[in-house]
Amino acid sequence: MVAMESGNCFRCFEDPSVWKMCCKDFNTATSCEWWIQKEPRVAFLEFDRSQKSMSCLVRTETGKNRLLVKGAVEHVLERSSHLQLSDGRVVEIIDFAREALLSKLQSMSSKALRCLAFAFKEDLGELCDYDGDTHPGHRILLEPANYELVESGLIFVSMVGLRDPPREEVSKAIDDCGEAGIHVMVITGDNKNTAEAICREIGVFSEGEDLREKSFTGRDFLALPVERR
């Protein structure tokens, strides 16, 4: 999915051929510069491994702040209470919608796509007019433990899948390790399904191999008895 500038808005197209016909000169830097000017950033909440997300506060044209969040789909969705529809309306997320989004995540990640979710929040309480380190709300941002509360009650917007193919030499390196008796272990921050799909591509796992005792999330691994780790 790509975007193009049209007047004061960006439109998205699924088909790359439409992109080529409509806007040959557009680039990502143009998009970033446009947004930086429109909604300047006033604070940055660094990536947190437990929440698997990062966010920034931006100043909108109304003078109030908005929180923009990106991160692992399942984690961002878990902290979202509402969903923005394609027509711009914001509605409460119902169980059916959550299940549909998680099903789509399953489908995308099983194709070795690294998936990211995007969300925002406008009800920011003390941070609604934050403007720098002299603001009373600055103490909230100084402590990363507060980020979970700040990044809650989100409005879920969308998810994207990014394709980052393995280097050509990786599969041969895996084969060489096997011939040398070296057992290859992969530790990654990717979604579990994405990691498994990539491992099948590079030869760590074979197609159809039973992974029940070979692939774990960090949470599941730490829950195992010490003697099984």
pTM of the model: 0.71
Q: Which pLDDT value is given to residue 191?
A: 78
- Residues in the chain with pLDDT values less than 50: 1-26
Q: What is the pLDDT of residue 130?
A: 93
Res 155: pLDDT: 96
- Confidence at residue 69, expressed as pLDDT on a 0 to 100 scale: 94
CATH superfamily of 168-228: HAD superfamily/HAD-like (3.40.50.1000)
Q: What is the pLDDT of residue 124?
A: 94
Predicted pLDDT of residue 129: 93
CATH no. of 41-162: 3.40.1110.10
Are the folds of 41-162 and 168-228 the same? no
Boundaries of every domain in the chain: 1-38, 41-162, 168-228
Q: pLDDT value at position 30?
A: 57
Output the 3-class SS for the chain. CEEEEECCEEEEECCHHHHHHHCCCCCHHHHHHHHHHHCCEEEEEEEECCCCEEEEEEECCCCCEEEEEEECHHHHHHCEEEEECCCCCEEECCHHHHHHHHHHHHHHHCCCCEEEEEEEECCCHHHCCCCCCCCCCHHHHHCHHHHHHHCCCEEEEEEEEECCCCCHHHHHHHHHHHHCCCCCCCCCCCCHHHHHHHHHHHCCCCCCCCCCCCCCCHHHHHHCCHHHC
Query: What pLDDT is stored for residue 51 in this prediction?
Result: 83
pLDDT tens digit sequence for 187-223: 877 778 888 888 888 888 888 888 877 888 777 888 8
